[in-house]
Structure 1
Amino acid sequence: MKVGILDSTLREGEQTPGVVFTTEQRVEIAKALSELGVSMIEAGHPAVSPDIYEGIKRIVKLKKEGEITPEIVGHSRAVKKDIEIAAELEVDRIAIFYGISDIHLKAKTGKTREEALSIIAEAVSYAKEHGAKVRFTAEDATRADLEYLTQVIKTARDAGADRIGIADTVGILYPSKTRELFSYLSKIPGVEYDIHAHNDLGLAVANSLAAVEGGATIIHATVNGLGERVGITPLQVIAAALKYHFNVEVVKLELLPKISSLVEKYSGIPTPPNFPITGDYAFLHKAGIHVQGILNDPRTYEFMPPETFGRNRDYVIDKYTGKHALKDRFERLGVSLSEEELEQVLAKIKSNPNVRFYRDVDLLEIAEEVTGRILKPRPPEKVEALISIKCDSNVYTTAVTRKISVIPGVKEVMEISGDYDILAKIEAKDPTELNNIIESIRSVKGVSSTLTSLVLKKM
């Protein structure tokens, strides 16, 4: 199966409300995407602003110097000035878009179908004259008349486009319809197809897979599913799905957590803990029967090993916990309890149903109460701390809070009153990582000072 990923985090992703990437951040994300192994990077729409122009310029320079390898794509309206700006940057491909549904033609551009065909042909030809490869994206293609969509594709192809993007602009497709559409369009010779699936109905991943089955060879995605409104196909989810269903590895799967954290940090959009693949809960088990299953054979409740994605499995200790999980947790702590002692500890856990979860220190305290002896566990695997943060008087505290909340290792952030403005709960695997997290917090613009308190015991 021939399929690749076009990552649009730097273009579609920056259209997420509240997201703005600096030039340096754009370059760093592009480098990380290259390391990840995407086929194409849609680096932005250079006519939008000088900083996007500069970012694309630097990314193209890195491509010429061999530091990054994917095809670099510059976005453009079907306007000569936009095309000229993209062409002078010497991007590998100019991606021209134009709304082709009757809704867009009437409400947005005020053009007839015939006038739109003329505009598309002229724009694609003009871009081709500048020596770049051209993709034409039919915006709102999935609400356009199919016969007219076919005319649009042939017009763009004949004008010089070798790729056609089919945009499900408002996310109204469903998989069987998507597969049918791409199977039909793939009969038109001389072009290859991209799927640009928005996630308004939560079907972007399913529609992207169906498009591939119908003949699409490039899937548009963004890291963490960023984009207009609720975003487009999440890169980490579609990459995992392609591996599982088709055994196609479009990126280096083990690097997905790294790129997810990077984009989370720079976008300021926290990833929900239950987000697939890279969310905190993706490989975290809770119910006792589930934990028993994964302790015996992880395949019982995991579709693929977490190590495939650079992750580790774990489980929660709470009222749902069974004896197998509890025994395993104490063994990991280096503490040996008899079956009777385990039963007693489990009974105490279940007698407190409102406790969200038990930390290792809580379990040790209960075990000492049950056994009547002092237990000596292995050194703790994690270090927890509370960081009190003071902000400069001229900054918006909520903005600082948002930036701190997406730093890896920060588990919870609260705005407070008193001598300090923000309180952050952080978790690290060791003191070195703890120091790195604290330094990351201190480097946030607007932070003037911090005070660290280690958590010795949680009540």
Structure 2
Amino acid sequence: MPLKVGILDSTLREGEQTPGVLFNKNQRIEIAQLLSDAHVAMIEAGHPLVSPDIYSAIKEIMDMKASGMINSEIIAHSRAVNSDIDSAASLGVDRIAIFYGVSDIHLDNKTHRSRTEALDIIYDSISYASSTGIPVRFTAEDASRTDINFLRNVVRTAVDAGADRVSIADTLGILTPEKTAYIFNNLSDIKGVEYDFHGHNDMGMALANGLAAAESGATIIHSTVNGLGERVGIIPTQALGVLLNYHLGVDAINLLSLKPLSELIEKYSGITMPPNYPVTGSTAFTHKSGVHVDGIIRNPGTYEFMDPSRLGLQHSFTIDKYSGKHALREKLANMGINADDNKISYMLEKIKNNNMVYSEDDLKEIANSDNQRHYVK
């Protein structure tokens, strides 16, 4: 297990590949600043040749880096072609990330190259990028469907050409934690390189695969805020940050930054997060069942894996037909209403006979109702 696992946030690159999502220049700069303030290790700022506004935004982000306003490592994305590499190098980024599809299906149907030709292209492009003096990461696109022996050759080729990092990409989101560990364990003996993991979430396994990668030697895990990205996206930054903290004891991101980041990306992407979204969803620490609420009142650790105050949040609970007397009494006390057992019993009878969620105004109305004096225990 590595002593340190960092987060590479790719909201500005992978995140903007979400269908319907486009960030303008000012939004990109604001997102980069907030990510740096959150202490993520790396920010993938985009592919500069995609559009002039991305190029311009990366340039300003690098100016901010030079002035000390941004501290995270800034990465520019690049195809394995010299024009892309030149564009990235002209910005003076901290790292150039070159990607190339290495599975047989990509070689046969997309690039129409043999394995030998692919290795030559990978070597030449990394060598060219390394000649700029800028560190290089190579991304083995579709690594999860690549023959493991050929993948080893790819990694060795990238290292020989000058890459100090290789990203293992589960481009289709097909891995399981066991298969993820298998890949990293079979690459662990190759010297002179550190590994990233880039996992898509097509089968809902991305976060679990990211943990398996970290436990098997990857020192950087890729994510996006709110899990944005191609198709159904990749690992969510907020879930990854909490997962690394809880299971590995790694402070890869400032936990207090997760909710503001989620809200900012929700605003700029136009994609509304469901209330039950992990970590930062509006009901992530909201409890309903009477048994659960009773446990929370006695000791929050009974039904909360983490003190929500560490995330700048607080727990709450709803009042409806599932509520018990402990929940109702606690809710009323928080509203400044003292209720004896008779009043609690009266109110619960009213609540359980109606199929609705009760607001504070609803509860005040019942608590102040004259009918409660007729209640017989």
Matching residue's letter, 1:299 = G
Kept in 1: contact 2:144–2:169 (CA 8 A): yes
Residue 370 of structure 1 deviates from its aligned partner by: 4.9
Task: Say if 1:326 and 1:342, in contact at 8 Å, map to a contact too.
Answer: yes
Partner of 1:85 in structure 2?
87
Counterpart-to-counterpart distance in 2, 1:370 and 1:148? 79
Secondary structure at the counterpart of residue 136 of structure 2: strand
SS where residue 52 of structure 1 aligns?
helix
1:173-188 equivalent positions in 2, closer than 5 A = 173-188=175-190
For residues 271 and 283 of structure 1, the distance between their equivalents in structure 2, rounded to whole angstroms, comes to 15
Measured against aligned partners, the alpha-carbon deviations of 1:338-390 in whole angstroms (never above 9, x if no partner) come to 1011101000000012x1x11000001111115669xxxxxxxxxxxxxxxxx
Classify the secondary structure of the residue corresponding to 2:243. Answer: helix
Residues 2-61 of structure 1: CA deviation (Å, up to 9, x unaligned): 110000000000000000000000000000000000000000000101011011111011
Partner of 1:333: 335
Find the aligned partners of 2:226 and 2:298 in 1 and give their Cα distance: 32
Once residues 86 and 75 of structure 2 are traced to their aligned partners in structure 1, the CA distance between those partners, rounded to angstroms, is 14
Q: What aligned pairs does 1:200-279 form with structure 2 within 5 A after superposition? A: 200-279=202-281
- 1:300 paired with 2:302, answer yes
Report SS of the residue matched to 1:230. Answer: coil
Unaligned runs of 5+ in 2: none
Equivalent residue for 1:52, pick from 48, 51, 54: 54
- Residue 25 of structure 1 is matched in structure 2 by 27
Task: State which of 101, 104, 107 in structure 2 corresponds to 1:105.
Answer: 107
Deviations 1:287-307, CA, capped at 9 Å, x for gaps:
010000000000110011101
1:365 aligned onto 2:369: no
Secondary structure of 1:185's partner? coil
Deviations 1:313-361 (A, max 9, x none): 00001110000010011111111121011101000000012x1x11000
Q: How far apart, CA to CA, are the structure 2 residues paired with 1:154 and 1:246?
A: 29
> How many angstroms does 1:93 deviate by?
0.3
Which secondary structure state, in structure 2, belongs to the residue aligned with residue 73 of structure 1? strand
- Residue number among 7, 13, 18 corresponding to 1:16 in the alignment: 18
* The 10-residue stretch of structure 1 (44-53 or 171-180) with the greater mean CA deviation from structure 2: 171-180
Letter in 2 for 1:50: P
In structure 2, the residue matched to 1:382 is none
Letter matched to residue 287 of structure 2? H
CA distance in 2, matches of 1:180, 1:103: 21
Q: Retained in 1: the 8 A contact 2:343–2:372?
A: no
Aligned 8 A contact 2:16 2:23 in 1 = yes
Shift of 1:97: 0.0
What's the C-alpha RMSD, in Å, of the aligned pairs?
A: 0.9
Identity, in percent, stands at 57
SS for the counterpart of 2:368 is helix
Provide the secondary structure at the position in 2 that maps to 1:87: helix
* Cα distance between partner residues in 1 of 2:214 and 2:334: 44
SS of the residue aligned with 2:201? coil
Q: Which has the higher strand share?
A: 1
SS state at 1:121 partner? helix
Q: What SS does the corresponding residue of 1:207 show, helix, strand or coil?
A: helix
Contact 1:345/1:370, CA 8 A, preserved across alignment:
no
Whole-angstrom CA distance in 2 between matches of 1:165 and 1:113:
19
Q: Deviations over 1:409-441 (max 9, x none)?
A: xxxxxxxxxxxxxxxxxxxxxxxxxxxxxxxxx
TM-score (normalizing by structure 1): 0.80
Q: Matched residues in 1 for 2:214 and 2:257: separation?
A: 23
Judge conservation of contact 1:341–1:370 (CA < 8 Å) in 2: no
Question: Which letter does structure 1 place at the counterpart of 2:136?
Answer: V
CA distance in 2, matches of 1:5, 1:147: 28
Runs of 4+ in 1 over 3 A off after TM superposition: 370-373
- 1:271 and 1:130 map into 2 onto residues whose CA distance is 41
> Which residue of structure 1 aligns with residue 36 of structure 2?
34
Q: TM-score, normalised by structure 2?
A: 0.97
Written as runs of structure 1 = structure 2, the 5 A alignment for 1:74-223 is 74-223=76-225
* Structure 1 unpaired stretches of 5+: 374-459
Q: Distance in 2 between matches of 1:336 and 1:211?
A: 53
Give the Cα–Cα distance (whole angstroms) in 2 for the partners of residues 117 and 337 of structure 1: 75
Counterpart of 1:5 in 2: which secondary structure? Answer: strand
8 A Cα contact 1:166 1:195, kept in partner: yes
Secondary structure, aligned partner of 1:330: helix
* Aligned-partner SS, 1:195: strand
How far 1:230 sits from its partner (Å)?
0.6
